[in-house]
Structure 1
Amino acid sequence: MKDTIVLYPSIGRGHIFSMVELGKLILTHNPSFSITILIPTPPNSTTIEATTFGCDSSITFHHIPIPQPPSGTAVSPLSLIFHLTRNGNHNLHHVLQSISKTSNLKAIVLDFLNYTANEVTTTLDIPTFYYYTSGAASLCVLLYSKIIKQRKTEDSCNYLEIPGFPRISKEELPSYPEELENIFRDISANMSDCDGIIINTFNAAEERSIKALQEGSCFPDESNPPPVFCIGPVISVPGGEKDENECLSWLESQPSQSVVLLSFGSLGRFSKTQLKEIAIGLERSEQRFLWVVRSESDEDSLEDLLPEGFLDRTKEKGMVVRNWAPQAKILSHDSVGGFVTHCGWNSVLEAFSEGVPMVTWPLYAEQNLNRVVLVKEMKVALALEESENGIVSATELGDRVKELMDSEKGKEIRERVLKMKVSGVEARSEGGSSYVAMNRLIQLWKEKDHLSVLSPNTPLFYNFSD
Structure 2
Amino acid sequence: MNIPRTLPMVQGERSEPKESNMKSAVVLYSAPAAGHLLPMVSLAKLFQEHGFSATVITFNHPLLSSKTDQEVSFLSSANPSISFHVLPLITVGDSYANLKPPDVTRIIVEAQNKNLQNFILDLSKTSFVRVIVLDYMCTDALDAARQLSIPTYFLTPFSASFTAFLLNLLELDVSSSLSLKDFNGPINFPGLPPVLTSDCPKFLIDRESDSYKAFMQTVPSLVKSDGILMNTFESLEQKAISALREGNCVPSFNMPPVYSIGPLVTERREKEREERHECLKWLDLQPKGTVVFLCFGSLGGFPLDQVKQIAIGLENSDQRFLWVLKFNTEQSNIYNKSIPEFELDQILPEGFLNRTKDRGMVVKTWAPQIQVLHHESVGGFVTHCGWNSILEAVIAGKPMVCWPLYVEQRLNKVLLVDHDTWLSVAIECYDQDMVVAEEVEAKVRWLMEGEGSKLLNERAKAMLDKATESLTETGPSSQAFMQFLIDLEQQHLSKTNI
TM value normalised by structure 2: 0.84
d(CA) in 1 for partners of 2:182, 2:324: 42
Give distance in 2, aligned partners of 1:220 and 1:68.
40
Bigger drift between 243-252 and 335-344 goes to 243-252
Q: Is 2:455 aligned against 1:424?
A: no
SS at match of 1:159: coil
Match of residue 368 from structure 1 = 410
Counterpart Cα distance in 2 of 1:77 and 1:335: 38
Q: Take 2:470 and 2:217, find their aligned partners in 1: how far apart are those partners?
A: 32
Instruction: Report the 3-state secondary structure (helix = DSSP H, G, I; strand = E; otherwise coil) of the residue aligned with 1:36.
Output: strand
Q: What amino acid sits opposite 1:192 in the alignment? A: V
Residue 186 of structure 2 corresponds to 159
The equivalent of 2:128 in structure 1 is 104
Q: 1:80-105, CA deviations, whole angstroms, 9 ceiling, x for partnerless residues?
A: 12211111001112222223333322
Q: Which moved more, 1:363-372 or 1:74-83?
A: 74-83
Q: CA deviation at 1:435?
A: 0.6
Distance change (3 Å), C-alpha of 1:76 and 1:56: closer
Contact 1:260 1:288 in 2 (8 A): yes
Deviation at 1:281, TM superposition (A): 0.8
Q: Structure 1 residues 451 and 5 mapped into 2: Cα distance closer, same or farther (>3 Å)? A: farther
Distance in 2 (CA, whole Å) between partners of 1:63 and 1:437 is 30
Aligned residue identity for 1:128:
T
Shift of 1:78: 4.2
Shift of 1:181: 2.0
| Partners of 1:139 and 1:66 in 2: CA distance | 30
Q: What are the within-5 Å matches in structure 2 for residues 440-455 of structure 1?
A: 440-449=483-492
Report if aligned partners of 1:100, 1:451 keep a CA contact under 8 Å in 2: no
| 1:39 paired residue number | 58
Per the TM alignment, residue 68 of structure 1 is displaced from its structure 2 partner at its CA by 1.9
1:324-351 Cα distance to aligned partner (Å, 9 max, x none): 1111111110000000000111111110
Are positions 1:24 and 2:45 aligned together?
A: yes
* Residue of structure 2 in register with 1:283 after alignment: 315
SS at match of 1:292: strand
- Name the counterpart of 1:128: 152
SS, match of residue 131 in structure 1: strand
> Which of 157, 173, 187 is residue 200 of structure 2 equivalent to?
173
Q: Does 1:351 align with 2:393?
A: yes
2:426 — aligned with what? 381
1:374-432, Cα deviation, whole Å (9 max, x unpaired): 01132110110134xx1001111111111111122111111111111111110000100
- The whole-number CA distance in structure 1 between the counterparts of 2:454 and 2:179 is 38
Question: Out of 399, 410, 423, which is 2:442 matched to?
Answer: 399
Q: 1:219-258 to 2 correspondence within 5 Å?
A: 219-222=250-253, 224-239=254-269, 240=271, 246-258=278-290
What is the Cα deviation at residue 447 of structure 1? Answer: 3.2
Quick one: structure 1 residues 303 and 50, their matched pair in 2 at CA, closer, same or farther if it must change by over 3 Å?
Answer: closer
- 2:39–2:265 contact (8 Å) kept in structure 1: yes
**What is the alpha-carbon distance in structure 1 between the residues aligned to residue 180 and residue 351 of structure 2?**
51
- Contact 2:306–2:434 at 8 Å: present in 1 too? yes
Query: Do the aligned partners of 1:107 and 1:128 also contact (CA within 8 Å) in 2?
Result: yes
306-315 or 392-401, which deviates more:
306-315
C-alpha distance in 1 between matches for 2:80 and 2:35: 20
CA gap of 1:154–1:405, structure 2 versus 1, over 3 A, is closer
Task: State the one-letter code of the partner of 1:295.
Answer: F
- Cα deviation for residue 139 of structure 1 reads 0.9
Matched ranges for 1:69-218 at <5 A = 69-70=92-93, 75-148=99-172, 150-152=177-179, 155-176=182-203, 178-218=209-249
Distance in 2 of aligned mates of 1:181 and 1:53:
39
In structure 1, the residue corresponding to 2:361 is in which secondary structure?
A: strand
- CA distance, structure 2, for counterparts of residue 370 and residue 40 of structure 1: 28
Q: Is the 8 A contact 1:5 1:108 kept in 2?
A: yes
Which residue is 2:335 aligned to?
none
Show the counterpart of 1:463.
none
Cα distance between partner residues in 1 of 2:95 and 2:282: 53
Residue 436 (structure 1) shift: 0.2
CA distance in 2, matches of 1:54, 1:316: 34
Q: How many residues align?
A: 447
Q: Percent identity?
A: 38
Q: Is the 8 A contact 1:261 1:339 kept in 2?
A: yes
Query: What secondary structure is seen at the aligned counterpart in 2 of 1:5?
Result: strand
Cα contact 2:77–2:272 (8 A) shared by 1? no
Instruction: Give, as a single letter, the amino acid of the residue that structure 1 aligns with 2:262.
Output: G
1:278 Cα deviation from its structure 2 partner? 0.5
Contact 2:35 2:298 in 1 (8 A): no
* Structure 2: gaps spanning 5 or more residues: 1-21, 329-338
Deviation at 1:142, TM superposition (A): 1.4
Deviation at 1:77, TM superposition (A): 3.6
3-state SS of paired residue (1:289):
strand
| Contact 2:425 2:456 (C-alpha < 8 Å) held by counterparts | yes
TM-score (norm. length: structure 1): 0.89
User: 1:295 aligns to what SS in structure 2?
Assistant: coil
> Match for 1:311: what amino acid?
L
CA–CA separation in structure 2 for the residues paired with 1:7 and 1:82? 17
Structure 1 unaligned regions, length at least 5: 454-466
Instruction: Say which SS state the counterpart of residue 44 (structure 2) adopts.
Output: helix
Answer whether contact 2:76 2:83 (CA < 8 A) is retained.
Answer: no
Match of 2:32 among 5, 8, 11: 11
Counterpart position of 2:452:
409
Task: Please name the residue that 1:295 is paired with.
Answer: 327
Conserved? CA contact 2:78–2:272, under 8 Å:
no
Query: CA shift at 1:234, angstroms?
Result: 1.0
* Residue of structure 2 aligned with 1:264, choices 271, 296, 302: 296
AA in 1 matched with 2:186: Y
- Contact 2:61 2:105 survives alignment (8 Å): no
| Structure 1 match to 2:18 | none
When the two chains are superposed, the root-mean-square deviation of aligned CA atoms in Å is 2.5
Q: Deviations over 1:220-269 (max 9, x none)?
A: 421x3111111111112113476776111111111111100001112111
Equivalent residue in structure 1 for 2:367, among 325, 336, 351: 325
Q: Distance in 2 between matches of 1:262 and 1:86?
A: 37
Q: Which amino acid aligns with 1:37?
A: V
